[in-house]
Structures are given as structure tokens and as C-alpha cells.
Amino acid sequence: MDPELKRMLDETHALVKDNHRMLRALRRYQIMGFFGKIVIWAIVLALPLYLYQQYLGPLVSKFSALSDAPISGSGLFTLPTSAELQKLIDSYKVGQ
């Protein structure tokens, strides 16, 4: 075999091996990035639900008992009276 042809063939073989190594590394990082995104989105979507259940859920259930009381006024968006505010404050103090 011609020495020049042998050198070119060896050089091409080395380039192909290097290219294959780089492509495998890119594919590996692509797969890791995909699973990383899944984990991040699971955290982003699940964290608010968890925080609501742990911290806001008990407060909402505590104040939902007050929603059974009749609302004074004629409209849906009326301001509460001072008696209703005092009742809310007292029920919150008793709950602590």
C-alpha cells in the first residue's frame, strides 16, 4: 500500500473515531438534559400544590367555617361589617 494513502487512511480513521466520540457525548448530554427538564418541571408543577396543602390548606379550612355565616348586605362584593371582622379575628385567635 502506498505510504501516502496509508497515512491518509489512518488520519481519516482517527477523525472518524474522534467524531464518533463527540457524537456519543452529545447524545449523552441530550438525554441527561431531557430527564433534567422533566425533573425541573415536576418540581415546578408539584411544589405549589405541596405548599398549598401544607401551609394554605389549614388556613383555608379554618376560615371556611366562617363562610357558612350569612353575609350582610345586598351584593356579592360588599364590605364586611365591624361585627363580622371582630368575629373573624376572634375565631382566628381561638384557632391558635
In angstroms, the CA 44 to CA 38 distance is 10
pLDDT band for position 74 (cuts 50, 70, 90): low
Average pLDDT, the chain: 86
DSSP string, 3-71: HHHHHHHHHHHHHHHHHHHHHHHHHHHHHHHHHHHHHHHHHHHHHHHHHIIIIIHHHHHHHHGGGGSPP
pLDDT in tens, 10-52: 999 999 999 999 999 999 999 999 999 999 999 999 999 999 8
pLDDT at 57: 82
In the DSSP assignment, the letter for residue 81 is P
In this prediction the pTM is: 0.51
In angstroms, the CA 67 to CA 93 distance is 17
